[in-house]
Each structure stands twice: as structure tokens, then as C-alpha cells.
Chain A
């Protein structure tokens, strides 16, 4: 698997995800600067976490119009898998790859802690390494992760089984208590209609090696590496 990690001014999880990808794929990903207008050959594109353009205007809004994003959107529409993590999720939404919006956390706080997620859809190229309804522990670190969408969009996401992760308790209970940021329906991660773009607020790359204190994020990278060669 030859992955490309897009680096924006203000990305700060690009090197973490680079390590996770290299571990799983046995090959270093290509780091691609946001100002470039061409992507190298990419089996997978990663939009990493961070604070692209300082979160000015709206999180991800300015990054979504970077020269490289035209190419990322084109490839995504052509079926190339895109893994969009945290700020990358915000960028993916702002560039129209995923529906809805991410607004300030309901408690207005920057939240940095491990949370539990229930894996709701294991039939994606990202999550096939998990069991149906498996509960995993992954860290979140964001101020604007509160997923909002109108009724029709949420109904469509539900009907098409495109909600991939929901915030849950350790036992898999999805309720308000387990919702860290106010996200509608405890939504933590969704895929696009074609299923090749995954946006998620939690950081799988931060729990992908035993030295991190857990490896619940690693199956995402292993699964991608396994299926993309």
C-alpha cells in the first residue's frame, strides 16, 4: 500500500499517522504538501489531524480550498480510499466529501481523553478488521467535534448504514452519558455514499502500538494495508 498523507500548515498528527501507516504497510507513506497540485500514486489518502490554517474562519474551511484538495476530491470521487481523522474529518466535510457539519463541542471545551466507540459498520475497507458492534477505545482531542446534520441527512446515513462509529460506554451502550461532545446520535465517524471516504473524530493512530498503551486503532491501518497490498 502506497499511502499519501496530506500536510497542511498546522497539521500536527501527520507524523503520528505516518508511523502507524509505515508499521502496518511496511512502507513509508509519501508526505504531500497542501500547496502541491499533483498527488503521487496513492492507494490511500490520509487527511491528518491538527489545526490546518489555525482553524481560521471555520475548522477545515480554508484547508478545503488548498490546491491539493482539488486532486484529493477528484481521486476520492474516482474511488481512492480516503481516511480523514479529526481535523481531516473537518476538512473532508468542508470540501464536500462527507455530509453534515462539525461545530463546537456542546460544553465548549477542548476534550482530550480516551473514549469508547461502538463499531457499527464492519463492511468498509477501513473497519473490516473489527467485529460487528465491537467496542474499542480510541482517544479524541478536539474542540469542534460536535456532529450536526439535518433530519434527512441523518436518516440517509442510518438507512445506508453509513454511521461507522458511535460514542458509547465501555459496554457498548450508546447514550447521552457516553457522548463527549454533543454529536447528534453519538456519531463519531461516517463514510460517504460509495464507502471509500471515512471521516472520524477519534485518533486511531494514537492507539496503534503497544507503547501507546493500546492497539485498538491498529486494525484500521492493518486492514487497509492488507486490502490495498
Chain B
């Protein structure tokens, strides 16, 4: 089973990289972008077969290491 983890900055936390991307898109003529937020995508190949157990384990991984919950949110998606 695979887990896809998306880590994004919480609302209100300044995202200098997102801002730079936004500016660069504007310079390329893409004027229709209201805002850009950059995040991380982590793919985990898991030994666990039980989705519930897998989700609980990935959730613990996120809060302990993969995300800094002071500034980041995370979302977990399990793929068979």
C-alpha cells in the first residue's frame, strides 16, 4: 500500500517561495493567478495491509517528523 502525503503551509504563514513563483508567473504573462502556495509531496511505500492501521501510522509519522505542525498542515491519501 502506498501513502501520499501532501504538506502545505498553514494559512497566514508567509510563503516566500510561493510569492517568488507568483511573481515569476506574472512576469511570464500569467496574470490570472491570485495566490501561490508551495508545499511538499512525500510518497511512502508501506508494509501495512490494513488501511486504518496504515493511516494511523502515517499520521504519527507526519506529526512526529514529516510535517512541522507549528507552520504546516498535512493531508494523507492511501492508494491500494
Contact = CB atoms under 8 A, between A and B. Distances in A.
Contact of A103 (B13, B20, B64, B66): B13
Please classify how large the interface on chain A is, using the bins under 10, 10 to 19, 20 to 34, 35 or more: 20 to 34
Interface of A: 57-58, 61-62, 65, 94, 99-101, 103-108, 146, 148-150, 182
Interface of B: 13-14, 16-17, 20, 64-66, 68, 70-71
Contact of A108 (B17, B66, B68, B70): B17
A90 to B, nearest CB: 10
Contacts of A105: 16
A151 to B, nearest CB: 10
Contacts, number: 36
**Mostly helix, strand, loop or mixed at chain B's interface?**
helix
Nearest to B40: A57
The 6 residue pairs across chains A and B that have the minimum distance between CB atoms: A101-B71, A101-B70, A104-B16, A108-B16, A106-B16, A108-B20
Nearest to B12: A150
Nearest to A58: B68
A99 B17 CA distance: 23
A106 B19 CA distance: 9
Contact of B16 (A94, A101, A146): A146
Nearest to B42: A57
Given A57-B65, A61-B65, A65-B65, A100 B70 contact: yes
A61 B61 CA distance: 12
A89 to B, nearest CB: 14
Contacts of B17: 104, 108
